Amino acid sequence: MKTKQKPPGLNGYKQYKLESLILEDSKLKDWFIDICYGKSPTVKIAEELLAIMEGRGLIRKTDFGWSLGADGRQFARNLGLIPGPSKFEINPSLVKSIKGKKTDQSKTNNLANRIEKIWKKFLKERSEELRNKLMEYYLPLVKYIAERIYVKLPDKVDIDDLISAGIFGLMDSIDAYDLKSSIKFADFCTPRIRGAILDELRSMDWVPRLVRARAHQIGNATRNLEAHLGRVPTEQEISKELEMNMEEFHRLQRDANAVGLVSLSNNLDFDSDICEIDIIEDEISEDPITEAQKRDLQNLLAKGLSRAERLILVLYYYEEMTMKEIGSTLDLSESRVSQMHSSIIARLKATMTNRKTELEIS
């Protein structure tokens, strides 16, 4: 009788039935049993084998180590390592990842049984106290869904707002759940919690859903063309991808541009106190260095002028008064004001010509 041979090397694991390998390899079986009971494995497994097992859905990587995947849980139930699921139970690894605590299998089973009793009592009495106990138990699920959505949102969105909206979705799910249903409550409430969070985001968004959808339409077409062409596509290529003429494309583009508005109060970086408005160039204001140089030059040229001569320049160039009006102000004739003005301009030109290099503004 031929015995079944293990494939040589780690590459052979890809063609080998992993479930059979777990049963035959005592080291791998001990590792798998530790994962089933939420313990840190006492043995080490090859990294390539871990990657293959993860790809097959037997295990999955979390922030706190390895845990069972969907296929791994079913395999463990078939072996009798973990009990079958209660339709009121949420994934123990989810509770562990949210609370940062390791869970004991016996405690998890006792908790699931207690929650099932609370459910049956609540569905009869519909008391607020029992509903609050159920909401406290399923709160990690709300936080998990909120965090999954939050990672794709800008920093201005507060995750506490998402959790609050998700709690209302959880509350509606508890009130609407039917005990006779064959669906697990976690599967029943997840889309409702997610929907409540998305509704809250839509109410916070000033951009209409139609405009947001058009922006996604252009963005998806642009990304597809960039991946296909290996460069930034032209407007003609994008419009062809969307099966539109240029007039329709430009109309769609104008509608989608409204989505691009950002708040100048947003922080530049996640851990920075600098806002967007602090780094925007002010194109209206003058360069302070240039202004200081001009002021120094003005003071230098004004040193050789008398008070009356300076007053004539101020009234003529800054106040935009005529020669006649300046003469009336200074009690001089119009011709005398014109003569003094010509003399002042000639002297200033001569001074600037002689000191051109020294007075040059960089």
Kindly report the three-state secondary structure assignment for every residue of the chain. CCCCCCCCCHHHHHCCCHHHHHHHCHHHHHHHHHHHCCCCCCCCCCHHHHHHHHHCCCEEEECCEEEECHHHHHHHHHHCCCCCCCCCCCCHHHHHHHHCCCCCHHHHHHHHHHHHHHHHHHHHHCCHHHHHHHHHHHHHHHHHHHHHHHCCCCCCCCHHHHHHHHHHHHHHHHHHCCCCCCCCHHHHHHHHHHHHHHHHHHHHCCCCHHHHHHHHHHHHHHHHHHHHHCCCCCHHHHHHHCCCCHHHHHHHHHHHHHHHCCCCCCECCCCCCCEHHHHCCCCCCCCHHHHHHHHHHHHHHHCCCCHHHHHHHHHHHHCCCCHHHHHHHHCCCHHHHHHHHHHHHHHHHHHHHHCHHHHCCC
**Size of the chain in residues:** 362
Q: pTM for the full model? A: 0.44
- Asked if residues 178 and 285 have their Cβ atoms less than 8 Å apart, the reply is no
Query: Where does the pLDDT of residue 260 fall: very low under 50, low under 70, confident under 90, or very high at 90 and above?
Result: low
Query: Cα 189 from chain centroid?
Result: 25
- The whole-number pLDDT of residue 63 equals 62
- The whole-number pLDDT of residue 165 equals 92
Report CA-CA distances (Å) from 209 to 202, 203, 257, 279. 8, 10, 13, 31
- The whole-number pLDDT of residue 359 equals 59
Q: Which residue has the higher pLDDT, 310 or 358?
A: 310
> Taking the domains of the chain in order of start, what are their residue ranges?
11-82, 87-205, 209-258, 288-359
- 87-205: which CATH architecture? Orthogonal Bundle (1.10)
Q: Mean pLDDT highest for which of 270-274, 305-309, 354-358?
A: 305-309
Query: Cα 299 from chain centroid?
Result: 54
Q: Does the pLDDT at position 168 exceed 90? A: yes
Query: Where does the pLDDT of residue 151 fall: very low under 50, low under 70, confident under 90, or very high at 90 and above?
Result: confident
Q: Which residue has the higher pLDDT, 246 or 8?
A: 246
Report CA-CA distances (Å) from 321 to 10, 307, 345. 94, 17, 17
Q: Does the pLDDT at position 8 exceed 70? A: no
In the predicted model, what is the mean pLDDT of the chain?
Answer: 75
Q: Which CATH number is 209-258's, of 3.90.550, 1.20.1070, 3.40.50, 1.10.10?
A: 1.10.10
pLDDT above 90 as % of the chain:
6
288-359 has CATH 3.40.640.10 classification? no
- The whole-number pLDDT of residue 194 equals 92
The closest alpha carbon to 161, from 197, 113, 108, belongs to 197
From CA 218, how far away is CA 272, in angstroms rounded? 32
- The whole-number pLDDT of residue 278 equals 77
**pLDDT tens by residue, 198-243:** 988 888 776 677 777 777 788 888 888 888 888 888 888 888 888 8
- The whole-number pLDDT of residue 195 equals 92
Query: Where does the pLDDT of residue 80 fall: very low under 50, low under 70, confident under 90, or very high at 90 and above?
Result: low
Query: Where does the pLDDT of residue 167 fall: very low under 50, low under 70, confident under 90, or very high at 90 and above?
Result: very high
